[in-house]
């Protein structure tokens, strides 16, 4: 079993399983080996204190307490497991009933379970103990029934979670009955968490059982379990504390054995789901590509200067060697697919990468070199001059605090405003981002806002002070098209009226081309092209060009298949030599696969001797221009940088590029649950 | 549950606020009433679910047939079931819960003299657990974030699992043997002033504190990874403001749901701890009553315990609604 | 002949009317695009079409015959938005496809069928032995399409099938849809929020807003001469609809 192997590999797992084996071993062996000793009555040794003959002493009939404690393992464990079995069985039935019974009846079952689950197990247990009467069989059912609601609730939650998955819907469409869907699709997918819970449940059943026996409500004489032994020992705690504590120790050990085993299994699942801090895909380490010189004309006021920016996480370098300058009021777009490193780039510029992430290179903002451990002064500078807008406006606001309060906080902390003045400013800023009735809105919580309104409020938060740079990371991806337009228009107007520089991070090349002056195209953590938006039609990197043709627009030729970029961005675990795009590139040759191209000004790229087909390029360019409805304009000029051995060479016809070989390495879009790449011949 | 495909959240909740609260209050009261009804009905049904004759069981085989008949009449067991139910409901509403078989005292009187002791114990233990658990949970979360502090992480996990596993009565027994029997610092049992409360409260609080600390840590860790904490960092707030002002309220809110369950678990835990320390509360009463089959007494105490649990759950939900207005919105 | 008709369909969730008296015709062999923003009710209508969401009023007809309440038993198939949710992680790809086959068939035939279907969606048939975890998003979406085709459906409903995919993958799925449509003559309801995508695959389209279809007709006609103000607003909001970029 693969799961067992992984449990053994953790220290917690080893400890847990060892204890479990000891407990189960005792349960099997002790009654055989020590059963006689535990039952031997010795009238000469009544109520003896611990001695070398009787380590824990003897009871009122002179029986050895250690032997009795060891022998009691079997009954304690068997009773606990029986109670667990009752709980789990009932819980599974009640918990999966809603999936079988359909809406009305299902909801009734759920409601009953929800009421029962509110009562603590011990209380339910006492209730059932009254009904079933005192004794071990009654206690098994009492504890089993008392535990059932918790299991039912858990099972129901898990079932409901799986039921929402589309594969269940697909199975229903295919004509599967409720029962067959439950058995084929739902139960297998909740098995693991149920096993964990049952293991932990066995632990708590054992503890509860010892409690009941301790109270005298569980196992009755002459039978004995640990709880019963403790009950008998408590009366003599002054004379022989060990008589009560020794069985107690075994209770704890057995309880721990079950609980820890459950924990250990659960932890293994957790390990796989955690690691979310590496939000974006990551790529393997390789020396960064430096290119500080570039051909973009500078205006006077540089707001931000980024030089050879890298982001490192242990073992991976998701951003490698990014350099650019940004001027007052300028809009720069950073474009790439998910996992290209664009989000991390934004966070790195804003000094928001947290350990174990490490930012390398220089970021100079308004003349200050930023540092990740920057002091009070840098905090103030960034707090007032750099604003950030994130992708999901709902999760980006603190759900439990009023919107106005969250805006006002900026001015209170960084500008020393009083609560009242800061609130007024917040209302004013909400008005500035065109939120109607801002006084009332400021009093509301984020969940009372609509999506577009939230994003505007987030922009308003950035405007509390007087920002010179606004970094917007996919600010409209979570929004509808019409709302997206409003938000982008708002960003445009802020940029022009307040001369705020903008970094717009997006996966949408068309959108960025429309809203920005300059575009940086990222692929697998590298900059592959840096060009002015005007020059998009004459983009030189095959990736940029294919990306433009792969996404349908309202001008796409309906008679042609869309361009296809086969495969996907390389997995972080794959070491890349040469150009990262080579495996997907129709122009790739041996040079591309062996040596990494540097980001160089376009002029030198087009002067390379490789590029002999000048005529083809012009034809290609013209066709692109026509396709993009730019007919009336003069041919744009590419004055940026590109990293490609075959920059601007003509691409094969798109029809030859259909994705007939789906066997390329799995993409970063699938990093959530893909450990290995699909390798098919 | 119906899936609501692509509902525009914003538009739907625009007019939330007061209406949301009203709806929440109505829903929650409805839920409370149903739960109360279930509780009352269950405690009524309890006697009838006992196999055989509960009166004979309660009085023992030696009791005369005459006495059994009188008691039957006294308990109203000869009436038709609906009438019995009606009388029971009346009794519950007017505070008449019958008479104890053993002590011959009205059940309501016994409960009222013992309720305070139990409430005191549970409340003190809850406060202690929270005071211990929240700071520890938060501190450990901050220090073990993103794979830092491996040793602390392991130590904390081990300690809290072990402490959380030890049942409260065992903690009690251990504490008694050390501090009362061994060191003679504190009384063994009874309720004789502050010093006698220390051991029961600690026994009751220790396990839940460990569990709560783990919950707080987990919630805090997940809150620290949320987008709004990133926003707070992007606002360049101080670490104290980020942790205490933005993260902690959310972590506590998230812990509250489980914390509420834990508190009601503590109320039930008094049953065992009171037995260890001979604490004169409801817990020791119910155990002794079950053992001697004093059913009217058991019925009464179960009702009171149940009401206590429901009260705690309601308070928790209201607190949650105040702290996090989203929770008033029906999903 | 296979033609899907929604007749006066109304779907309510409590107080919310998600779909309000909608009638829509998906003619034989044609792709009809259904466009709308989140909350417009387009996904609800699609789910009602396969019987996943109960309707309060109205009915769905297949070739003029009402589809029974318990669903179409495979005659109308659906492909979902999220490829990570639409395949059972515990089931081999081939088994998932086999489950959708209309009648149980012999082992050898079964494997041939699966191989053929995988080939049809440009996947290597060897993938049938893999679990979904080993597949990329684009590959999963192809498997989901193959599974839907396995049922030999009269009509296919595609619900936002490219919106969870990376832009570079999206194109190949759209190419596949177009190829399948011409090769197999599929009748399809293609739900999407993206007008440009709908334009590329659908001959006719309907625009939905607040549970109502505001405009319906041939795609080219609507895009060129939108009548409804909302359609106009949608068109104007699409990035790239007012190139060239500003400076």
**Which chain B residues are Cβ-neighbours of C53 within 8 angstroms?**
5
**Above pLDDT 70, what percent of chain C?**
94
Instruction: Choose among C78, C135, C167: nearest Cβ to A678.
Output: C135
pLDDT at position B103 = 81
User: Does any CB of chain C come closer than 8 Å to the CB of residue A169?
Assistant: yes
**Contact between A598 and A527 (Cβ < 8 Å):** no
**Arithmetic mean of pLDDT, A110-118:** 86
Mean per-residue pLDDT over chain B, rounded? 84
pLDDT in tens, A449-505: 888 899 999 999 988 988 999 999 999 888 888 888 888 999 998 888 888 999 999
Residue A310 confidence (pLDDT) above 50: yes
Question: How many angstroms from the chain centroid is the CA of residue A494?
Answer: 33
**Contact between B105 and B99 (Cβ < 8 Å):** yes
Question: Are the beta carbons of B5 and C18 separated by less than 8 Å?
Answer: yes
In CATH, the number for domain B115-330 is: 1.10.3720.10
Phi, psi of C17 (to 5 degrees): -95, 105
pLDDT range class, residue B275, cuts 50, 70, 90: confident
Query: What is the spatial distance between Cα C62 and Cα C50, in angstroms, rounded to a whole number?
Result: 11
Let me know if A17 is exposed, middle or buried by CB neighbors in 10 A (0-12, 13-18, 19+).
middle
**Contact between A323 and A520 (Cβ < 8 Å):** no
Question: Are the beta carbons of C13 and B4 separated by less than 8 Å?
Answer: yes
Query: What is the spatial distance between Cα C187 and Cα C72, in angstroms, rounded to a whole number?
Result: 15
Residue A631 confidence (pLDDT) above 80: no
A-C Cβ pairs (cutoff 8 Å, strict): 227
Through-space distance between the first and last CA atoms of chain A, rounded to whole angstroms? 29
pLDDT range class, residue A138, cuts 50, 70, 90: confident
SS (HEC) of chain C:
CCCEEEEEEEEEECCEEEEEEEEEEECCCCEEEEECCCCCCHHHHHHHHCCCCCCCEEEEEECCEECCCCCCCCCEEEECCCCCCCCCCCCCHHHHHHHHCCCCCCHHHHHHHHHHHHHHCCCCHHHHHCCHHHCCHHHHHHHHHHHHHHCCCCEEEEECCCCCCCHHHHHHHHHHHHHHHHHHCCEEEEEECCHHHHHHHCCEEEEEECCEEEEEEEHHHHHHCCCCHHHHHHHHHCCCCCCCCCC
Instruction: Choose among A215, A350, A410: nearest Cβ to B272.
Output: A215
Taking the alpha carbons of B50, B54, B56, B61 in that order, is the dihedral positive or negative? positive
Q: CA C30, C36, C41: angle at the middle one, nearest 5? A: 95
Residue with tokens 């013992």: B114
Let me know if B139 is exposed, middle or buried by CB neighbors in 10 A (0-12, 13-18, 19+).
middle
**Above pLDDT 70, what percent of chain A?**
85
The CATH 3.40.50.300 portion of chain A extends over 294-523
Chain B contacts in chain A segment 577-596 (CB below 8 A): none
Beta-carbon-side half-sphere exposure of residue A228 (alpha carbons within 13 Å):
23
Strands C155-159 and C187-192: parallel
pLDDT range class, residue A2, cuts 50, 70, 90: low
Q: Which of C101, C104, C102 shows the shortest CA–CA distance to C128?
A: C101
* Residue C233 placed within a domain: yes
Q: Which of B132, B230, C115 shows the shortest CA–CA distance to A352?
A: B230
pLDDT at position A603 = 62
* Residue C5 placed within a domain: yes
The CATH number for C50's domain is 3.40.50.300
**Arithmetic mean of pLDDT, C91-104:** 86
Q: State both tokens at A552.
A: 């349908």
**Arithmetic mean of pLDDT, C197-204:** 93
User: Does any CB of chain A come closer than 8 Å to the CB of residue C56?
Assistant: no
Residue C34 structural domain: 1-70+188-247
pLDDT at position A216 = 85
| Boundaries of every domain in chain B | 115-330
pLDDT at position B17 = 60
Rg, chain B, Cα only: 25
Question: No. of H helices and E strands in chain B?
Answer: 14, 0
**Arithmetic mean of pLDDT, A205-223:** 87
User: Does any CB of chain B come closer than 8 Å to the CB of residue C85?
Assistant: no
* Residue C131 placed within a domain: no
Question: Are the beta carbons of C136 and A555 separated by less than 8 Å?
Answer: no
Q: Report the residue of C11, C17, C38, C163 to disrupt the B interface, i.e. the one with the largest count of B CBs within 10 Å.
A: C38
| Nearest-10 Cα torsion for B156, B158, B160, B163 | -140
Closest CA of chain B from C207, distance in Å: 16
**Which chain C residues are Cβ-neighbours of A169 within 8 angstroms?**
47, 52, 78, 80
Instruction: Choose among C38, C74, C81: nearest Cβ to A174.
Output: C74
Closest CA of chain A from B278, distance in Å: 12
Lowest mean pLDDT among A131-145, A630-644, B219-233, B272-286: A630-644
- Higher per-residue confidence, C170 vs C33: C33
pLDDT at position A144 = 92
pLDDT range class, residue A285, cuts 50, 70, 90: very low
SS3 B136: helix
Query: What is the spatial distance between Cα B245 and Cα B232, in angstroms, rounded to a whole number?
Result: 10
User: Does any CB of chain B come closer than 8 Å to the CB of residue A373?
Assistant: no
Taking the alpha carbons of A628, A633, A634, A639 in that order, is the dihedral positive or negative? negative
Q: State both tokens at B273.
A: 């701890």
pLDDT at position A284 = 30
**Which chain B residues are Cβ-neighbours of A160 within 8 angstroms?**
1
pLDDT in tens, A331-373: 999 998 888 888 999 999 999 998 888 899 999 999 889 987 7
Q: State both tokens at C46.
A: 């699609």
pLDDT range class, residue A269, cuts 50, 70, 90: low
**Contact between A572 and A283 (Cβ < 8 Å):** yes
Mean per-residue pLDDT over chain A, rounded? 81
* Residue C121 placed within a domain: no
**Arithmetic mean of pLDDT, A290-311:** 64
- Cα dist. B18→A437, A454, A679, B14, C106 in Å? 18, 20, 58, 11, 63
pLDDT range class, residue C70, cuts 50, 70, 90: low
Beta-carbon-side half-sphere exposure of residue A295 (alpha carbons within 13 Å):
17
Query: What is the spatial distance between Cα A658 and Cα A550, in angstroms, rounded to a whole number?
Result: 11
Query: What is the spatial distance between Cα C224 and Cα C206, in angstroms, rounded to a whole number?
Result: 14
Residue B128 confidence (pLDDT) above 80: yes
pLDDT range class, residue A676, cuts 50, 70, 90: very low
pLDDT at position A470 = 94
Query: What is the spatial distance between Cα A102 and Cα A181, in angstroms, rounded to a whole number?
Result: 13
**Cis upstream peptide for A356 (omega within 30°):** yes
SS (HEC) of A219-268:
CCCCCCCHHHHHHHHHCCCCCCHHHHHHHHHHHHHHHHHHHHHHHHHHHH
**Domain topology for A75-260:** MetI-like fold (1.10.3720)
User: Does any CB of chain C come closer than 8 Å to the CB of residue A297?
Assistant: no
pLDDT range class, residue A612, cuts 50, 70, 90: very low
The angle that helices A226-234 and B168-175 make with each other, rounded to 10 degrees, is 30
pLDDT at position B158 = 85
Taking the alpha carbons of B258, B263, B267, B272 in that order, is the dihedral positive or negative? positive
> What is the number of other CB atoms lying within 10 angstroms of the CB of residue B220?
26
Residue A623 confidence (pLDDT) above 50: no
Let me know if A653 is exposed, middle or buried by CB neighbors in 10 A (0-12, 13-18, 19+).
exposed
Closest CA of chain C from B328, distance in Å: 17
A-B Cβ pairs (cutoff 8 Å, strict): 211
**Arithmetic mean of pLDDT, C123-137:** 87
Question: Are the beta carbons of A170 and C168 separated by less than 8 Å?
Answer: no
Q: Which chains touch B (3 or more CB pairs under 8 A)?
A: A, C
* Residue C149 placed within a domain: no
pTM score above 0.90: no
pLDDT range class, residue A89, cuts 50, 70, 90: very high
Query: What is the spatial distance between Cα A234 and Cα A240, in angstroms, rounded to a whole number?
Result: 9
In CATH, the number for domain A294-523 is: 3.40.50.300
Residue A238 confidence (pLDDT) above 80: no
Strands A469-473 and A386-389: parallel
**Arithmetic mean of pLDDT, B312-323:** 85
**Arithmetic mean of pLDDT, A14-42:** 87
- Domain count for chain C: 1
Residues whose CB is less than 8 angstroms from the CB of residue A22 and which lie 6 or more positions away in sequence, other chains included: A253, A257
Query: What is the spatial distance between Cα B325 and Cα B319, in angstroms, rounded to a whole number?
Result: 10
* Residue C172 placed within a domain: no
Consecutive H or E run containing A603: helix A602-606
Exposed e or buried b for every residue in A155-175, given b needs 16+ CB within 10 A? bbebbbebbebbbbbbbbbbb
Instruction: Choose among A171, A630, A678: nearest Cβ to C99.
Output: A171
Question: Are the beta carbons of C85 and A165 separated by less than 8 Å?
Answer: yes
Strands (E), A261-411: 302-313, 316-327, 331-335, 358-365, 368-369, 386-389
**Contact between C165 and C171 (Cβ < 8 Å):** no
Chain B contacts in chain C segment 161-190 (CB below 8 A): none
Let me know if A436 is exposed, middle or buried by CB neighbors in 10 A (0-12, 13-18, 19+).
exposed
Question: Are the beta carbons of A241 and B181 separated by less than 8 Å?
Answer: yes
Question: Are the beta carbons of C43 and B5 separated by less than 8 Å?
Answer: yes
Question: Are the beta carbons of B147 and A259 separated by less than 8 Å?
Answer: no
Residues whose CB is less than 8 angstroms from the CB of residue A527 and which lie 6 or more positions away in sequence, other chains included: A289, A321, A322, A323, A520, A521, A599, A641, A643
């Amino acid at each position: 079993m693969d799961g067992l192997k992984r449990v053994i590999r953790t220290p917690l797992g080893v400890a847990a399983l060892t204890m479990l084996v000891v407990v189960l071993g005792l349960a099997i062996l002790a009654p055989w080996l020590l059963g006689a000793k535990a039952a031997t009555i010795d009238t000469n040794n009544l109520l003896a204190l611990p001695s070398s003959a009787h380590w824990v002493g003897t009871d009122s009939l002179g029986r050895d307490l250690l032997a009795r404690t060891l022998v009691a393992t079997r009954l304690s464990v068997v009773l606990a497991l029986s109670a667990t079995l009752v709980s789990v069985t009932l819980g599974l039935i009640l918990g999966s009933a809603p999936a079988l019974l359909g809406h009305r009846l299902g909801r009734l079952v759920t409601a009953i379970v929800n009421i029962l689950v509110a009562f603590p197990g011990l209380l339910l247990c006492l209730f059932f103990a009254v009904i079933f009467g005192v004794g071990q069989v009654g206690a098994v059912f009492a504890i089993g029934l008392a535990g059932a609601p918790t299991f039912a609730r858990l099972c129901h939650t898990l079932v409901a979670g799986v039921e929402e998955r589309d594969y269940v819907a697909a199975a229903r469409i295919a004509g599967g009955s409720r029962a067959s869907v439950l058995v084929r699709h739902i139960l297998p997918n909740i098995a693991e968490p149920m096993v964990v819970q049952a293991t932990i449940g066995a632990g708590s059943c054992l503890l509860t059982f010892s409690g009941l026996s301790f109270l005298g409500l569980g196992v009755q004489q002459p039978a004995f379990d640990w709880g019963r032994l403790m009950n008998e020992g408590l009366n003599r705690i002054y004379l022989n504390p060990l008589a009560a504590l020794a069985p107690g120790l075994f209770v704890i050990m057995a309880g721990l054995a079950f609980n820890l085993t459950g924990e250990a299994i659960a932890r293994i699942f957790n390990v796989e789901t955690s690691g979310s801090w590496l939000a974006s895909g990551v790529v393997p380490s390789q020396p960064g590509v430096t290119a500080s010189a570039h051909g973009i004309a500078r205006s006077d006021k540089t707001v931000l200067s980024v030089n050879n920016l890298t982001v490192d996480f242990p073992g991976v370098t998701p951003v490698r060697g990014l350099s650019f300058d940004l001027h007052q009021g300028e809009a720069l777009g950073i474009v790439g697919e998910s996992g290209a490193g664009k989000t991390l780039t934004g966070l790195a510029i804003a000094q928001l990468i947290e350990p174990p992430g490490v930012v390398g290179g220089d970021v100079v903002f308004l003349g200050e070199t930023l540092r990740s451990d920057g002091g009070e002064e840098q905090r103030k500078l960034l707090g007032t001059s750099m604003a950030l807008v994130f992708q999901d406006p709902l999760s980006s606001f603190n759900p439990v605090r009023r919107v106005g309060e969250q805006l006002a906080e900026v001015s209170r902390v960084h500008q020393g405003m009083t609560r009242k003045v800061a609130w007024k400013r917040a209302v004013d800023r909400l008005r500035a981002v065109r939120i109607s009735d801002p006084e009332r809105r400021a009093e509301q919580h984020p969940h009372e806002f609509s999506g577009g309104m939230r994003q505007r409020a987030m922009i308003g938060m950035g405007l509390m002070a007087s920002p010179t740079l606004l970094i917007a990371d996919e600010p409209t991806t979570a929004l509808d098209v019409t709302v997206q337009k409003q938000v982008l228009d708002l960003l445009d107007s802020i940029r022009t009226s307040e001369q705020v520089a903008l970094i717009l991070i997006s996966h949408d090349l068309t959108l960025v081309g429309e809203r920005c002056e300059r575009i940086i195209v990222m692929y697998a953590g590298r900059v592959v092209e840096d060009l002015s938006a005007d020059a998009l039609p004459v983009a030189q990197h095959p990736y940029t060009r294919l990306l433009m043709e792969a996404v349908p627009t309202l001008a796409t030729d309906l008679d042609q298949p869309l361009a296809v970029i086969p495969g996907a961005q390389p997995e972080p675990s794959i070491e890349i030599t040469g150009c990262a795009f080579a495996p997907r590139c129709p122009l790739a040759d041996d040079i591309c696969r062996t040596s990494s191209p540097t980001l160089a000004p376009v002029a030198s790229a087009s002067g390379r001797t490789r590029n002999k087909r000048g005529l083809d390029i012009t034809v290609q360019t013209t066709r692109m221009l026509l396709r993009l409805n730019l007919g009336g304009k003069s041919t744009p000029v590419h004055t940026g940088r590109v990293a490609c051995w075959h920059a601007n060479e003509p691409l094969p016809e798109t029809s030859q590029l259909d994705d007939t070989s789906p066997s390329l390495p799995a993409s970063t879009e699938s990093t959530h649950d893909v450990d290995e790449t699909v390798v098919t011949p | 549950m119906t899936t609501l495909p692509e509902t525009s959240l914003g538009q739907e909740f625009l007019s939330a606020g007061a209406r949301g609260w009203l709806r929440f209050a109505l829903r929650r009261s409805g839920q409370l009433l149903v739960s109360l009804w279930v509780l009352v009905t269950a405690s009524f049904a309890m006697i009838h679910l006992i196999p055989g004759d509960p009166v004979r069981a309660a009085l023992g085989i030696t009791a005369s047939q005459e006495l059994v008949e009188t008691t039957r009449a006294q308990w109203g067991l000869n009436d038709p079931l609906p009438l019995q139910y009606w009388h029971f409901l009346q009794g519950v509403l007017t505070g008449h819960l019958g008479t104890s078989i053993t002590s011959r005292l009205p059940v309501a009187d016994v409960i009222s003299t013992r309720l305070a002791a139990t409430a005191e114990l549970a409340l003190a233990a809850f406060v202690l657990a929270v005071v211990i658990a929240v700071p520890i949970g938060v501190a450990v979360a901050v220090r073990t974030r993103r794979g830092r502090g491996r040793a602390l992480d392991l130590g904390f996990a081990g300690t809290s699992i072990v402490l959380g596993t030890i049942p409260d009565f065992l903690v009690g027994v251990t504490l008694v043997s050390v501090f009362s029997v061994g060191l003679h610092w504190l009384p063994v049992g009874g309720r004789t002033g502050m010093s006698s409360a220390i051991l029961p409260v600690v026994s009751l609080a220790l396990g839940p504190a460990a569990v709560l600390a783990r919950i707080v840590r987990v919630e805090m860790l997940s809150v620290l990874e949320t987008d709004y904490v990133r926003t707070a960092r992007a606002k360049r707030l101080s670490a104290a403001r980020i942790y205490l002002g933005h993260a902690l309220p959310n972590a506590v809110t998230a812990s509250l749901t489980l914390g509420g369950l834990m508190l009601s678990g503590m109320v039930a835990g008094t049953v065992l701890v009171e037995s260890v320390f001979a604490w004169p509360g409801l817990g020791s009463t119910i155990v002794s009553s079950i053992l001697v089959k004093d059913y009217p007494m058991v019925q009464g105490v179960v009702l009171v315990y149940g009401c206590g649990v429901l009260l705690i759950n309601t308070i928790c939900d209201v607190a949650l609604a105040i702290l996090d207005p989203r929770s008033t919105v029906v999903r | 002949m296979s033609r899907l008709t929604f007749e006066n369909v109304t779907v309510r969730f409590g107080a919310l009317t998600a779909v309000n008296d909608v009638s829509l015709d998906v003619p034989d062999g044609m792709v009809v695009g259904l466009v709308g923003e989140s909350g417009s009710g387009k996904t609800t209508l699609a789910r009602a079409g396969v019987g996943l969401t109960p309707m309060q009023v109205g009915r769905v007809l297949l070739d003029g015959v009402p589809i029974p309440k318990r669903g179409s038993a495979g005659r109308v198939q659906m492909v979902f938005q999220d490829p990570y949710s639409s395949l059972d992680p515990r089931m081999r790809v081939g088994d998932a496809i086999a489950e959708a086959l209309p009648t149980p068939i012999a082992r050898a035939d079964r494997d041939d069928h699966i191989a053929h279907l995988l080939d049809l969606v440009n996947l290597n048939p060897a993938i049938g032995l893999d679990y979904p975890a080993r597949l990329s998003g684009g590959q999963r979406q192809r498997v989901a399409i193959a599974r839907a085709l396995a049922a030999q459906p009269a009509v296919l409903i595609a619900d936002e099938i490219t919106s969870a995919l990376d832009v570079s993958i999206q194109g190949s799925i759209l190419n596949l849809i177009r190829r399948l449509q011409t090769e197999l003559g599929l009748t399809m309801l293609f739900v999407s929020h993206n007008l440009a995508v709908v334009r590329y695959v659908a001959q006719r389209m309907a625009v939905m807003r607040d549970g109502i279809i505001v405009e319906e007709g041939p795609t080219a006609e609507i895009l060129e001469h939108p009548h409804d103000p909302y359609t106009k607003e949608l068109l104007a909001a699409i990035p790239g609809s007012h190139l060239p970029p500003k400076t």
